[in-house]
Amino acid sequence: MTVTLKEVAERAGVSRSAVSRTFTDGASVSDKMRRKVEKAARELGYSPNALASSLTTGRTKLIGLVSNNFHNPIFLQVFDLFTRGLQERGLRPLLVNLTDEIDPENSVRMLRQYSVDGVVVASSTLPPGFAKAFRDAGVPVVHSFGRATSTPQVHVVGVDNAECGRMAARELVGRGYQHIGFMGGPENATSTQDRFAGFMSEMAAHPEIKVSHSYADQYSFDAGRREMLRLLEKPHAEAFFCGDDVLSIGALSAISDSGLSCPDDVGLIGLNDMEMARWENINLTTIHQPIRQIVTSSIELMVAMLDEPQRYPETRIFPCSVVERGTLRRTPNPSF
């Protein structure tokens, strides 16, 4: 049988309001009273009713965690970090799949039906308008892995994707490749656009090197494999910067199935440093994105917004770094 608040009050010899205050965050209750109530609750096996509490406090502690790229394995890592981090803060994540959703207002209506206290948009491919729609509806929102800007309309936490593109280009130029390719994800994704812009800005300083570019229709293994198979049917680049690791792994599969080897015939560098990139049979050279720090910072901002909803939006950008593994040829020795 469910133990009631009334039974705890009777066991502790206090009023029902005292029990309610004991289990309400921020409510005033003496240490002596708290100890009595908690002792009675343990003895009876009582657990506070979160839904009933939300009616009293006006807060559900539900945080909408929304994304649209569930087929990308990197988001298993992202969701794991988010859900554990939110739960450690006493918040409850509500996972929402926005794949194929094109209307931000539909997303706002859906999340408001659940009376969420805030929303984390965890996606680099959803347009910025999705996060802004939540802000305009008065819902505290943080856009994780969002587009870096000096004048944010919502809180943004992520990396400088343009700098990642420049970093990849510098790495490939430094390896001595004379034909370098960019194989991005969906062309309309802001992350793809920024990575390509950074890549091309760096390559503009090397007119002696041939540059080509193409796009996969998704950030997925199958999309990366399909696009690389298409590219390998004709003269192609010596090395590619792939838009993320899962595209790179698909490209690696296509290279192998085409009877070629990596890095001897085709070089690859990815982006993210997802767990699979470290596997021995993949061993992908990539750009490390500090996912754990991005998630932790996003949660910190969300918690701060719950106490200060009008907090001025800020952008938090974390640096990336190249992780050397086995899918690019070694840097040529300098001449003396």
pLDDT at 46 (0 to 100): 76
What average pLDDT does this structure show over 156-180?
A: 96
Highest mean pLDDT (candidates 66-75, 162-171, 305-314): 162-171
pLDDT at 55 (0 to 100): 46
Please name which of 51, 43, 77 lies closest in space to residue 278, comparing C-alpha atoms.
Answer: 77
pLDDT at 153 (0 to 100): 87
Report the C-alpha dihedral over residues 162, 168, 170, 173, rounded to 10 degrees: -140
pLDDT at 227 (0 to 100): 97
92-112 confidence digits (pLDDT tens): 898 888 777 667 788 888 888
Alpha helix stretches (DSSP H) within the chain: 5-12, 16-22, 31-44, 50-57, 74-88, 104-113, 128-136, 161-174, 190-203, 221-231, 245-257, 291-307
Percent of the chain with pLDDT over 70: 93
Confidence of residue 202 (pLDDT cuts 50, 70, 90): very high
For CA atoms 110, 116, 67, 146, give the dihedral sign: positive
34-62 confidence digits (pLDDT tens): 888 888 888 888 776 655 555 455 567 89
For CA atoms 82, 83, 84, 86, give the dihedral sign: positive
148-152, 171-175, 196-200, 322-326: least confidently modelled range? 148-152
**pLDDT of 336 strictly over 50:** no
Task: Extract the tokens encoding 265.
Answer: 């015939």
Task: Extract the tokens encoding 292.
Answer: 């754990």
The C-alpha angle with vertex 48 and arms to 45 and 13, in degrees rounded to 5, equals: 65
pLDDT at 32 (0 to 100): 86
Q: Count Cα neighbours of 67 within 13 Å in the Cβ-side half-sphere.
A: 21
22-44 exposure pattern, b = at least 16 Cβ within 10 A, e = fewer: bbeeeeebeeebeebbbebbeee
pLDDT at 75 (0 to 100): 85
Confidence of residue 228 (pLDDT cuts 50, 70, 90): very high
